[in-house]
């Protein structure tokens, strides 16, 4: 049933970025799992009334960028048979913003809304910039020219904006996950695995994707309200450990990596065996992380002692120390199989230059359990799992800042440490007074 909005609640919400620590490529197949951690870098959306605009108008602004204002007119929806239409009347095209606004209002079937302003703020870690920059730093360029750091800005944006619209016009987040997945896939023009949106909604978890058929038939409401078959099992980085994110800027990238890996998988009859082996190693890491978290609760004193001394040469032989050693070895075992997959598919998932960086950091900094090239791999980013000791984090950051990265094309580059670490929480309501 179409309806006029009965409520308007000025709202502030945020959704986190993500890092896929294990499960790159495999997460595309429902049989396999992805270990995804939400990050402290968030995209915030804040709604307010804007009486200076005509009714049924939504203005979305992103004040950190130039040319980042979009105005939409909402029409239709006066009866059940008539669709709600969202037409852009001002600003450059932005498919992620327009598709999200359109799908949210179409799903809600709101035929009348008060004039609304939504302001988008992105935490600084989403874009390469000096660490001393003020919060929500003004970048002074169009979004298309900002250097992204690969933390999942589009998924966090779509999730945050969807949640803000739902809460503003209905007072709740239902049905956030399915609606955000639908909007993100529509904006991208393809049905992806959805782990990034899932992390933005649910926070850190082990993920099994939804079947693409969830979005392949029926209308929007039928799809969103239908039975989805994704699986989400909450997880966390064990107490005393943390993630450190690095943004690699070497001017080098390889397009079409996913397409090439999937083509290899389809043509090599031994590929499935490799994927099963890699899945076993990934689930091994997931289980070890869960055991470590349990150990930190059962014997906190022993666990903290192990965290304090791991990698220093002063380790005691305890169950906690054994767990840390096993986690470190498991990260290495996953990397070994990732490199094999990359070699056989002829895709630089963990390029040699990244291998050198990861190995050098682990060798140089006591307390680094291991590092990986997250997600689909390539040259853009690295993530390290380390003990959460001040000296370890400081030494790792110093090492990365001084590291001279050289890509396979001979171009040099640098590694920037991002102001983002693991965070367990997904989408959340924020205090509107802080903006």
Query: Are 221 and 266 members of one domain?
Result: no
Domain end point (choices 204, 235, 266): 235
pLDDT of residue 407: 77
Average pLDDT over residues 119-133: 91
* Helices and strands (H and E) in the chain: how many: 11, 17
The answer to whether residue 429 is domain-embedded is no
Query: Are 309 and 182 members of one domain?
Result: no
Is the pLDDT reported for residue 264 higher than 50? yes
Query: Are 169 and 259 members of one domain?
Result: no
CA–CA separation, 65 and 282 (whole Å): 39
pLDDT of residue 80: 65
Residue 434 C-alpha from the chain's centroid: 24
- 75: number of Cβ within 10 Å: 13
Query: Are 312 and 198 members of one domain?
Result: no
Query: Are 267 and 350 members of one domain?
Result: yes
CA–CA separation, 36 and 196 (whole Å): 8
The answer to whether residue 435 is domain-embedded is no
Contact status, residue 328 vs residue 370, Cβ threshold 8 Å: yes
Domain end point (choices 220, 235, 250): 235
The answer to whether residue 82 is domain-embedded is yes
Q: What is the pLDDT of residues 19-38, one digit of tens each?
A: 999 999 999 999 999 999 99
Q: How many domains does the chain have?
A: 2
pLDDT range class, residue 421, cuts 50, 70, 90: very high
The answer to whether residue 428 is domain-embedded is no
pLDDT range class, residue 409, cuts 50, 70, 90: confident
Is the pLDDT reported for residue 3 higher than 90? no
Stated as kind and residue range, the H or E segment containing 201 is helix 195-202
CA–CA separation, 335 and 341 (whole Å): 10
CA–CA separation, 288 and 300 (whole Å): 17
pLDDT-above-70 percentage for the chain: 96
pLDDT of residue 181: 99
Contact status, residue 125 vs residue 65, Cβ threshold 8 Å: no
pTM of this structure: 0.95
| Domain enclosing residue 133, as ranges | 3-235
Query: Are 280 and 216 members of one domain?
Result: no
Q: What is the pLDDT of residues 158-184, one digit of tens each?
A: 999 999 999 999 999 999 999 999 999
Alpha helices in 212-256 (DSSP H): 220-225
Provide the 8-state DSSP code for 252.
-
Query: Are 42 and 161 members of one domain?
Result: yes
The answer to whether residue 432 is domain-embedded is no
Query: Are 125 and 269 members of one domain?
Result: no
Domain end point (choices 235, 257, 283): 235
SS3 state of residue 64 = coil
- 357: number of Cβ within 10 Å: 23
Average pLDDT over residues 210-222: 95
CATH (domain of 340): 3.30.70.890
Out of 80-84, 212-216, 311-315, give the one with best mean pLDDT: 212-216
Is the pLDDT reported for residue 64 higher than 50? yes
Burial class (CB in 10 A: 0-12, 13-18, 19+), 298: exposed
175: preceding bond cis by omega (within 30 degrees): yes
Is the pLDDT reported for residue 353 higher than 80? yes
CATH (domain of 142): 3.30.230.10
The answer to whether residue 19 is domain-embedded is yes
Mean pLDDT (the chain) is 94
The answer to whether residue 265 is domain-embedded is yes
pLDDT of residue 83: 80
Query: Are 407 and 389 members of one domain?
Result: yes
pLDDT range class, residue 1, cuts 50, 70, 90: very low
Query: Are 194 and 253 members of one domain?
Result: no
Query: Are 224 and 274 members of one domain?
Result: no
The answer to whether residue 215 is domain-embedded is yes
Query: Are 196 and 308 members of one domain?
Result: no
């Amino acid at each position: 049933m179409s309806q006029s909005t009965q409520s308007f609640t000025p709202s502030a919400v945020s959704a986190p970025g993500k890092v896929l620590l294990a499960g790159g490529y495999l997460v595309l197949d429902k049989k396999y799992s992805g270990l995804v951690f939400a990050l402290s870098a968030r995209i915030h959306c804040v709604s307010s009334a804007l009486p200076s605009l005509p009714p049924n108008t939504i203005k979305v602004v992103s004040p950190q960028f130039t040319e980042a204002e979009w105005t939409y007119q909402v029409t239709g929806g006066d009866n059940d048979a008539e669709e709600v239409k969202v037409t852009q009347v001002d600003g450059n095209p932005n498919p992620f913003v327009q598709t999200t606004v359109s799908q949210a209002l179409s799903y809600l079937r709101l035929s009348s809304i008060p004039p609304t302003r939504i302001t988008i703020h992105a935490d600084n870690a989403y874009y390469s910039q000096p660490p001393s920059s003020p919060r929500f730093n003004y970048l002074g360029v169009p979004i298309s020219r900002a250097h992204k750091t690969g933390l999942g800005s589009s998924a966090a944006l779509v999730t945050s904006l969807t949640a803000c619209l739902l809460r503003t016009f209905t007072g709740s987040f239902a049905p956030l996950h399915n609606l955000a997945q639908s909007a993100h896939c529509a904006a991208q023009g393809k049905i992806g695995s959805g782990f990034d949106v899932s992390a933005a909604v649910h926070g850190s978890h082990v993920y099994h994707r939804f079947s693409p058929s969830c979005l392949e038939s029926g209308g929007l409401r039928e799809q969103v309200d239908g039975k989805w078959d994704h699986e989400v099992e909450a997880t966390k980085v064990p107490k005393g450990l943390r993630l450190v994110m690095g943004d690699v800027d070497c001017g080098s990238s390889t397009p079409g990596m996913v397409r090439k890996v999937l083509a290899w998988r389809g043509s090599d009859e031994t590929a499935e065996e490799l994927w099963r082996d890699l899945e076993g190693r990934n689930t091994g890491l997931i289980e070890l992380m869960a055991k470590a978290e349990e150990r930190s609760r059962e014997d906190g004193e022993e666990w903290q002692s192990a965290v304090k001394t791991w990698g220093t040469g002063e380790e005691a032989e305890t169950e906690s120390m054994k767990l840390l050693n096993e986690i470190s070895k498991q990260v290495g075992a996953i990397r070994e199989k990732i490199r094999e997959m990359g070699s056989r598919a002829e895709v630089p998932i963990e390029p040699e230059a990244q291998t050198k960086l990861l190995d050098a950091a682990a060798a140089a900094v006591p307390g680094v359990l291991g590092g990986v090239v997250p997600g689909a791999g390539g040259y853009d980013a690295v993530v390290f799992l380390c003990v959460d000791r001040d000296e370890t984090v400081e030494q790792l950051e110093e090492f990365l800042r001084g590291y001279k990265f050289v890509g396979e094309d001979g171009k040099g580059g640098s590694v920037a440490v991002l102001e983002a670490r693991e965070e367990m929480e997904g989408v959340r309501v924020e205090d509107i007074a802080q903006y």
